[in-house]
A and B are shown apart, each in its own frame.
Chain A
Amino acid sequence: MKLKTKPSAGIDAVREVLEGYATRGVFRSYSELPAKGAKAMFRFHWLWNAPFTLSFDAGRQAILFEKLLDSVPPGSPVDLSVRRFLTEAAAPGRPEHRRLDPRRIGITVSNRSGALTLRFRAKDGEIEPAVRKAVNLVNELLASHLSMEQPEYLAKVFRLPED
């Protein structure tokens, strides 16, 4: 697919969205690391005041939450739960405002040595809505889905007060 935007324009779009969250106080301790070629990296504290890293590969139009979750053996209940959630996010029965349109955004989950990375690719080259969708899906995955299904794992990994 031919890109609609230049790589730098894509980074600008990601930066603008993320800075918007930081300005609103949703992200804290927000910073942008020096770009490596067409790849930009952003760090911020977000859910439960935990640190998150989002990177953007402008060449591939991909937004990555690298090592979003660790200590997740492949095929474990947490691994399966994450994959099921992401599959259901594109289900036709889901409300449109929360539904992931697979024609516009592709999701890949990779598990390397127990570290889960989520990769969102803007198939249509529309970066801004893809970033928002990625951030919202991760929010829902952690603050809703895993909070409900895997509370003990979440408490352990994010060091949440459990009792």
Chain B
Amino acid sequence: MEEKQKPTNPEENKKSRRGFLNASAIAAAAAFGAAPKAQAEPGVSPIRVPDAIPNALNTPGKPANWPMRGAQIFARVCKDEGLAALFCCPGNYEIINSIVEEGIPAYGGRTEGSMCSAADGFARVTGEITACSGTEGPGFTNMIMNIAAANAARTPLLVLASNKRIADDDSEMGIQTCYQQPTTEGMRKYGKRLIDPKRVYEYAAYAFRQLKTGVPSPVHLDFPGEISNARFKDASELRYFHDKAKYKTDARPHPDPKRIATLAGMIKAAQRPIIVASTGVFYSRAWDALKAAAEKAEIAVVESGPSRGHFSDAHPLSASTAPGALASADLVIFIGQYSMPNVGECAFSPDAKYVRIDPDASDIGRNWPIDFGIVSCEKAALEALASALPKMTHEAWVAELAAERKKFEDQNAEYYKTGLGYTDAVHPAVMAQELSDFLYRGDLARELTTVVAGGYGIARYMRRYLRAHRPGQICNGAYQYGAIGPDCGYAFGAAAAVQLGAGPQAPYKGAPVVAITGDAGFAYSGMEIETMAKYKMPVVLIVYNNNAWGIMSQGKPVHMYLFQENLRYDKIGESLGARGEYVTKPADFLPALKRSYQIAARERVSTVINCQAKREFWTQQFAPGMLGKVEPGCMAYSH
């Protein structure tokens, strides 16, 4: 084994920044067509995608063979473990180039933070493990907010970063000195700075063992130069080298049958039982088992979590759009609710009985007091419950759910009617209702379109109107961490997932993605519109432009809360290779949406729809003002 110091041949030039894009390749490359239409002006060179990009994307990978470098060994484990996609910026070259050569779909964007969110967004709509990567100092630290958001969402995200050589520790030799692991403490499940090249395979195993078992969350590995550049003539030079079946198990904790019988008895005794189906139901792919258990005993189901759709909002047992029914439940069963609410944060009755089903026994009873707990994989528990439950009906409960759903829809319709009365700007209720009608009650199949619901104030409206009809249909943007900035990153990741047809997105492969953000959020990740254009991701990005941060203030500090008015985010979109639509009146929104969606579907061109609103819509002066929320259900984002 020897440490490699410098690139010495053309193959290794891929490690340079210039060579990075040429080396990137994705599995969906065959679908890559011509460059987007340029917004050409006389005498001005048009925006174009250089041939080098589609050429690289259409070039097959070259999986490594012995002798291999440390990075290649790591990449091989990623391939074997089914890493679904990599999102990165240049840096950590050995690792990212090796992952690309293994044939894992990979995407290069404009900022590491947004690419980290893209990986998060991909996972949130597929349930698959994804990776992000950045260079050791600024690239890695640019991802911090986004890693924290992924951690709050319990995303199985593999965070990768290069690091300077161990031999140069503490020396500030060159640039980018950064001790990474302390930085991610508190926002990851597992982290490790690799220090022994011979253990690279072993720590890859550590990473995937953590990512694939129990409650998921980010795993952070940093690779000092000695690790990724190390050369191995064969497996005998590795200190640990095992088959993946030897370093982890696919076994899942199954529930105690006696406890399932007790729970079935509690359901039988209840008049208004409800399941809170959250993150763990999605990641354990338990949606069929959930439906079976719910239907067998007419148990209501309300969703929560960073993604929605594992129980359809259109199902007669759904309480996700029936917030008024939550206080009626007399038995509440939290399943896979990893971000647990505190008392007061859910609208359930203090007299209800509470059950929690979770793979982690040590978390059961945290925050919300329970009457009964079951330690189990969510899918195994729901399958066992569906089997143990007798067939039963709760007719009055089902009727109450329907009545409360109607009440909620009526309230939404009232907001829409009010919003239409404001004609000098676009009210959020108008955008939300018309987007909802377009996606679910028009020509499109209601299951077709994956939506990233981001922003701050606009999200409070959109969540009320967006509907989920199948797993992974809605990426609940901000979720518990409350970051408004990652939306364009999430949108890119969700779009990549749909283009690849990954996981539950398979039936909708190639469909456009719709994303909503605000003007404040846009600033953090709007440059990824260029990445959408580069990869021909068909995204309809709706920007709610109210000339301000979502928080209102008066008096002297107000200048810190406001932006310049009438900024043109559509023009930014155009200048980055996408289309732009400028909407200033309510009547113009739907036509712009239709045009944008059709062009996205037909030409795989993204559009930024700038909806000009006004900040006063969040005040009581313009009813209904800033909306509140009730959790769990369609409005939930804290838990």
Contact = CB atoms under 8 A, between A and B. Distances in A.
Main secondary structure of the interface of B (DSSP, over half): loop
Interface string A12-27: 0000000001001110
A135 B630 contact: no
A143 B347 contact: yes
B627 A151 contact: yes
A77 B623 CA distance: 12
Contacts of B328: 95, 97-98
A13 B345 CA distance: 28
Contacts of A162: 551
Interface in A68-98: 77, 95, 97-98
Contacts of A143: 327, 344-348, 630
B351 A136 contact: yes
Nearest to B325: A95
A49 B342 contact: yes
Nearest to A47: B344
Contacts of B482: 163
Contacts of A49: 342-344
B216 interface: no
Interface string B390-430: 00000000001000000000000000000000000000000
Contacts of B326: 144
Contact of A163 (B342, B348, B551, B627): B551
A109 interface: no
Contacts of B551: 162-163
Contacts of A21: 350
Interface residues of B, number: 31
Given A24-B369, A24-B371, A135 B350 contact: yes
A31 to B, nearest CB: 17
B626 interface: yes
Contacts of A25: 369
Interface string A134-152: 0110011011101111111
A140 B347 contact: yes
Main secondary structure of the interface of A (DSSP, over half): helix
A150 B343 CA distance: 19
Contacts of A152: 626
Contacts of A151: 626-629
A24 to B, nearest CB: 6
Contacts of A148: 323, 627-630
A132 interface: yes
B183 interface: no
A163 B324 CA distance: 25
A46 interface: yes
B176 interface: no
A47 B343 contact: yes
B620 interface: yes
Given A48-B342, A49-B342, A98-B328, A147 B369 contact: no
A120 to B, nearest CB: 15
Nearest to B397: A95
Interface in B263-295: 271-272
B550 interface: yes
B456 interface: yes
A142 B344 contact: yes
22 contacts: A25-B369, A26-B369, A47-B343, A47-B344, A48-B343, A49-B343, A49-B344, A98-B327, A135-B351, A136-B349, A136-B351, A139-B327, A140-B349, A142-B344, A143-B347, A144-B326, A144-B630, A146-B628, A148-B323, A148-B629, A148-B630, A151-B626
Interface of B: 271-272, 323-324, 326-328, 330, 342-351, 369, 371, 400, 456, 482, 550-551, 620, 626-630
Interface of A: 21, 24-26, 46-50, 77, 95, 97-98, 132, 135-136, 139-140, 142-144, 146-152, 154, 162-163
Report the 9 A-B pairs with minimum CB-CB distance, sorted nearest first: A25-B369, A47-B344, A151-B628, A48-B344, A144-B347, A148-B628, A26-B350, A140-B327, A143-B347
